[in-house]
């Protein structure tokens, strides 16, 4: 057996915190051979990204330190390499692709400059030579019309294209090792499938090794030869992907594998009482041009959507990002202005002002995607959850308020005694429970759930899905469930609305739509979500 | 359940009164508890040793100067006269109270009055320095400005000491009249100014006035600035656009010239001065607060609050203001020192506080016109430099305390 390309031995990473250090990675060892793909998989906080970043020493030193371990790359210990030497390795022999394509490209540099920089730094090439290579790279990563794109700036590209540019940058010097840190997490499922296919293809063609960091087991199964399962800074299991998936040995791996959202939504019942009726809803943003700001056209974020949400039922809204899902949810709650009819229990809401809407807010609530952003960081949980109660004209005594908060917290499976703590003392899943409790405290009958699970870890996702279903059954709630994740939608929604560019392309009971999709777009979405296949490429975003 | 309610009495919630039932909400945590983030800030503040000690020193000096009337005053704080107790430092008595002839306010430095009190078998308890900021020492050893007494020779003091005849004859001519020296006259520790007023007393009162004025100006301009910034940032659009243009025009008005013109029309007193300076100083915070609100109004928790039906005013105060307060508090010490500098500069130029007020700027001006009396300029400079340096150091520590990225040193 030849020596591995990368060999990580007993690597530990510690971070300085107030009054001591905390160990983020605890004696991790793994090998990576030439041309092999190794996946580091784990939930957030498991130390997988920190492990990857320490390979190229990109951690915030001196706050971070390595109490033990060595990282042998082609026989040299990267941890002991002087900074000058290391810079030659970074970007040339080892390169990285990061998670967020929106922020990992410099918004003020053109694509040519961005990609060419690496060539200039490492090879000292002339501008013309760089340009030719950049063109070649852009063609390689599948950017359409690469000549025209050379002068484009990042904001002129879509998320998928930006990630392709990132990959082009990483490949520029034909590295031996590509570290991909959740390269598809911020992308749409359809785009994710395309990027994964591209990475796999390029890897085979260029014969590089790939260290792939992800939390998504579906991706691991698709792309990795071997897998390391990490939790709490340790690798608890490693082995060939097929073996780990078929016969997981460690309890944590079993738990991860079992964590997919399961269960079935309530049965579709066309006879249930309609709560919210949306008729031909339109949200058009005017495009203004010229000196007098004349309206020359509209961005049709939501264009003529009609849907009925019934008591105790869940309507799932799916689609790629930018298809108008969230805008639809906000427009139904009249948090943004819209045209067309929205009625709650037959009472029209269109044209109501902010204070006229207030009585309806009690019945119509929303839960947002990001549990870190949707809770005010400076308020204790009791104030967050009870804020709506105060507004809704219920002059409650302090004790009654606390009672109501305790009920809402108990409803979402949180300990009521935690109500005086601040949001940052809770985990992501717990925060999302608090956000749900805030919506539930008003005892609404209709809740818009705007991607409530997509910022959460897989195992937590499943818990939140179970929770939502339980609450729905108990209180006969109606949900409008917005998500790009078809797995979650399948587990929760009994009616599905497939949106694209503001329009509904397919609508019906979820059993029908998900089993026998009629449009190419829906088929592509399903293929991308369940099989990570890039199908019917013309029907989806690039 | 019992220990769940074991909270300090001031936070005793009504929840405690009904019999505790299973599932009853827990009693609230004590209110005075610092949230972890504030505890971290306090630790960061203390970690900046220079700033922390500057704060301690500044607070000690400031608190001491708040009691200036009990340190340097031309009135004793306790008089025993005819068996009764009087408190002249806090209450005004007329001369007739102590058996004098006139119905005017008693002058306790007057040997005649001192005599009356002593003769009644009473006594006076004086502050350590027997001058107030406007007390004129009528018995100067040299023409004003008179140097610090410890710099004088006995010969210079002789005439003043002779003039200060011991009232009453406690020790009549039993001993031979010994030579009068500087020890026999009332001391001016840092000399007097060109009107014969004690410099130490003026510095003490002047420091207090400067800091109080600075605090008032910083506080009021912060309130106005935060409100204006909040409204602009939160509502955005036309409100923001018009307001911003207005501020641009407003800030382009040359403040100093306007002040000079205004002070020739209005009789300057501390409130007029505060008002005029306030007109221009509130803009300093608007930009920061506006930016915070512009950023904050798109936060999801603000949107969540709107979905709950919370009103605009409540969102601004409850959800957004705390974010803006970090920036405001960080700026506060710098605004404070800026305000003090402005006041000093105006006083120096003679457009500031009315004549006779204890003012550091006026002391500097005197120092400039009396170069032969360096104790004026030097002492004024030292006090101002010390005060401003301390405030800047405190400001640095506050900035550190609120820096979210300062996780390690």
Transcribe B298-347 into DSSP letters: TSHHHHHHHHTT--HHHIIIIIIHHHHHHHHHHHHHHHHHHHHHHHHHHH
**A472 in a structural domain:** no
Reported ipTM: the value is: 0.72
Backbone angles phi, psi at B30, to 5 degrees: -55, 140
Cα–Cα distance list, B193 to B356, B358, B371 (Å)? 12, 11, 12
Q: What is the pLDDT along chain B (409 residues), one digit of tens a residue?
A: 334 333 344 333 333 333 334 444 455 544 556 666 778 788 888 888 899 999 999 999 999 999 988 888 888 888 888 878 888 878 888 888 887 788 888 888 888 888 888 888 888 888 888 888 888 888 777 877 888 877 877 777 777 777 765 544 444 444 445 556 777 777 788 888 888 888 899 999 999 999 999 999 999 999 999 999 999 998 888 889 999 999 999 989 887 788 778 877 887 788 888 888 898 888 888 988 998 888 888 888 888 888 888 888 888 888 888 878 888 888 888 888 888 998 898 889 888 888 888 889 989 998 899 888 888 899 999 999 999 999 999 988 888 887 766 554 4
Nearest to B130 by CA among B74, B49, B172: B74
The reply to whether B275 and B299 lie within a common domain is yes
Whether residues A313 and A409 share a domain: the answer is: no
In the three-class reduction of DSSP (H, G, I as helix; E, B as strand; rest coil), residue A373 is classed as coil
Residue B81 structural domain: 74-126
Minimum CA–CA partner of A441 in chain B: B308
- Domain extent for A282: 273-363+445-452+477-542
> Residue A457: inside a domain, yes or no?
no
- Tell me, yes or no, whether B238 and B106 share the same domain: no
Q: Which residues of A touch B32 (CB under 8 A)?
A: none
Residues B121, B228, single domain; the answer is no
Domain co-membership, B242 together with B152: no
Pair (A122, A237) in one structural domain: yes
Q: Tell me which chain A residues have a C-beta less than 8 angstroms from the C-beta of B36.
A: 422, 424-425
| A 282-311 → B contacts, CB under 8 A | none
Quick one: three-class SS letters along B157-193?
HHHHHHHCCCCCCCCCCCCCCCCCCHHHCCCCCCCEC
**A288 plus A378 within the same structural domain:** no
B→A interface, C-beta within 8 Å = 4, 13-15, 17-18, 23-26, 28-29, 35-37, 40, 43, 299-301, 303-312, 314, 318-319, 322-323, 407-408
Q: CA–CA distance from A30 to each of A55, A212, B172 (Å)?
A: 12, 13, 104
Of the partner residues B307, B318, B407, the one whose CB lies closest to the CB of residue A335: B307
Task: Take residue B168 and report the two structure tokens written for it.
Answer: 């009453």
Q: In the 8-state DSSP scheme, what is residue A365? A: E
| Same domain (yes/no): A203, A324 | no
Residue A327 touches chain B, beta carbons under 8 Å = no
A417: closest chain B residue by CA: B26
A440 interfaces chain B, CB cutoff of 8 Å: no
How many angstroms away from the CA of B249 is the closest CA of chain A? 24
Shared domain for B284 and B376, answered yes or no, is yes
User: What's the structural domain count of chain A?
Assistant: 3
Contact between A419 and A402 under an 8 Å Cβ cutoff? The reply is yes
Does B264 lie in the same domain as B227? yes
Q: How many CA atoms lie within 13 A of B16 on its CB side?
A: 15
A356 and A378 housed in the same domain: no
Are B319 and B277 members of one domain?
yes
Please tell me whether residues A488 and A533 are part of one structural domain: yes
Task: Provide, as residue numbers in chain A, all residues whose Cβ is less than 8 Å from the Cβ of B18.
Answer: 399
* B105 and B156 belong to one structural domain: no
Pair (A169, A242) in one structural domain: yes
Domain boundary among A213, A228, A257: A257
Residue B42 lies in a domain: no
Query: How many Å apart are CA A412 and CA A426, to the nearest integer?
Result: 14
């Amino acid at each position: 057996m030849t020596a591995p390309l990368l060999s990580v031995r007993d690597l530990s990473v510690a971070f300085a915190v107030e009054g001591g250090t905390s160990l983020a990675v605890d004696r991790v060892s793994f090998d990576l051979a030439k041309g092999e793909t190794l996946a580091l998989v784990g939930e957030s906080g498991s130390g997988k990204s920190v492990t990857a970043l320490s390979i190229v020493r990109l951690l915030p030193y001196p706050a971070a330190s390595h109490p033990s371990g060595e990282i042998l790359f082609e026989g040299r210990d990267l941890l002991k390499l002087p900074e000058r030497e290391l810079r030659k390795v970074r970007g040339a022999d080892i390169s990285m692709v990061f998670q967020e394509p929106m922020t990992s490209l410099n918004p003020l540099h053109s694509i040519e400059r961005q990609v060419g920089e690496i060539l200039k730094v490492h090879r000292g090439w002339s501008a013309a030579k760089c340009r030719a290579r950049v063109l070649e790279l852009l063609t390689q990563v599948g950017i359409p019309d690469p000549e025209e794109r050379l002068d484009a700036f990042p904001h002129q590209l879509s998320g998928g294209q930006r990630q392709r540019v990132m990959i082009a940058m990483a490949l520029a010097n034909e590295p031996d090792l590509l570290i991909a840190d959740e390269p598809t997490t911020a992308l749409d499922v359809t785009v994710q499938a395309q990027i994964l296919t591209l990475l796999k293809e390029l890897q085979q063609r260029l014969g590089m090794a790939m260290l792939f960091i992800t939390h998504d087991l579906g991706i691991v199964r698709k792309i990795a030869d071997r897998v390391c399962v990490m939790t709490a800074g340790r690798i608890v299991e490693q082995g060939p992907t097929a073996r780990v998936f078929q016969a997981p040995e460690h309890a944590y791996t079993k738990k991860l594998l079992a964590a997919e959202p399961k269960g079935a939504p309530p049965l579709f019942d066309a006879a249930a009482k309609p709560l919210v009726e949306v008729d031909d809803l339109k949200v058009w943003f005017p495009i203004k041009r010229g000196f007098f700001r004349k309206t020359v056209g509209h961005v049709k974020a939501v264009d003529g959507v009609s849907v009925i949400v019934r008591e105790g039922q869940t309507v799932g809204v799916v689609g790629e990002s930018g298809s108008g899902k969230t805008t639809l949810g906000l427009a139904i709650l009249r948090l943004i202005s819209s045209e067309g009819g929205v009625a709650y229990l037959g009472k029209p809401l269109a044209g109501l002002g902010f204070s006229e809407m207030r009585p309806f807010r009690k019945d119509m609530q929303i839960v947002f995607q990001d549990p870190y952003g949707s809770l005010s960081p400076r308020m204790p949980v009791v104030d967050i959850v009870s804020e709506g109660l105060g507004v809704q004209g219920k002059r409650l005594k302090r004790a009654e308020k606390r009672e109501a908060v305790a009920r809402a917290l108990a409803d979402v499976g949180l300990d009521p005694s935690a109500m005086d703590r601040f949001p940052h003392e809770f985990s992501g899943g717990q925060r999302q429970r608090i956000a749900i409790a805030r919506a539930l405290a008003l005892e609404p009958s209709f809740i818009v759930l705007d991607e409530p699970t997509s910022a959460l870890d897989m195992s937590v996702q499943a818990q939140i899905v179970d929770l939502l279903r339980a609450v729905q059954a108990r209180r006969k709630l109606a949900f409008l469930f917005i998500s790009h994740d078809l797995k979650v939608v399948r587990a929760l929604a009994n009616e599905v609305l497939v949106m694209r560019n503001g329009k509904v392309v397919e609508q019906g009971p979820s059993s029908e739509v998900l089993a026998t999709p009629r449009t190419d777009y829906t088929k592509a979405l399903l293929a991308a979500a369940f099989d990570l296949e890039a199908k019917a490429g013309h029907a989806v975003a690039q | 359940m019992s220990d769940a309610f074991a909270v300090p009495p001031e936070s005793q919630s009504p929840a405690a009164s009904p019999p505790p039932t299973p599932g009853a909400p827990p009693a609230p945590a004590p209110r005075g508890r610092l949230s972890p983030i504030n505890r971290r800030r306090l630790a960061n503040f203390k970690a900046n040793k220079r700033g922390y000690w500057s704060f301690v020193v500044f607070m000690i000096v400031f608190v001491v100067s708040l009691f200036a009337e009990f340190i340097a005053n031309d009135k004793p704080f306790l008089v025993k006269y005819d068996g009764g107790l009087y408190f002249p430092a806090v209450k005004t008595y007329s001369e007739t109270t102590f058996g004098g002839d006139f119905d005017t306010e008693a002058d306790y430095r007057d040997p005649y009055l001192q005599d009356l009190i002593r003769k009644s078998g009473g006594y006076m308890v004086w502050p350590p320095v027997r001058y107030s900021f406007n007390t004129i020492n009528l018995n100067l050893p040299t023409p004003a400005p008179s140097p610090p007494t410890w710099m004088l020779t006995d010969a210079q003091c002789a005439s003043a000491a002779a003039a200060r005849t011991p009232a009453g004859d406690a020790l009549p001519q039993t001993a031979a009249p010994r030579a009068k020296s500087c020890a026999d006259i009332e001391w001016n520790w840092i000399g007097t100014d060109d009107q014969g007023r004690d410099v130490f007393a003026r510095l003490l009162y002047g420091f207090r006035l400067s800091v109080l004025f600075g605090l008032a100006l910083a506080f009021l301009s912060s309130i106005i600035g935060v409100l204006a910034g909040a409204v602009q940032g939160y509502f955005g659009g036309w409100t923001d656009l018009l307001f911003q243009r207005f501020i641009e025009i407003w800030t382009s008005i040359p403040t100093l010239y306007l002040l000079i013109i205004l002070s020739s029309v209005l009789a300057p007193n501390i409130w007029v001065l505060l008002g005029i300076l306030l007109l221009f100083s509130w803009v300093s915070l608007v930009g920061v607060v506006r930016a915070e609100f512009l950023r904050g109004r798109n936060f999801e928790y603000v949107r969540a609050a709107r979905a709950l039906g919370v009103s605009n005013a409540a969102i601004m105060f409850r959800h957004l203001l705390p974010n803006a307060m970090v920036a405001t508090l960080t700026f506060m010490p710098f605004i404070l020192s800026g305000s003090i500098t402005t006041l000093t500069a105006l006083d120096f130029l003679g457009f500031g506080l009315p004549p006779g007020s204890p003012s550091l700027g006026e002391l500097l001006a005197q120092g400039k016109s009396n170069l032969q009396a360096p104790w004026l300029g030097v002492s004024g400079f030292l006090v101002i430099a010390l005060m401003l340096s301390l405030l800047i150091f405190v400001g640095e520590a506050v900035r550190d305390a609120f820096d979210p990225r300062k996780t390690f040193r």
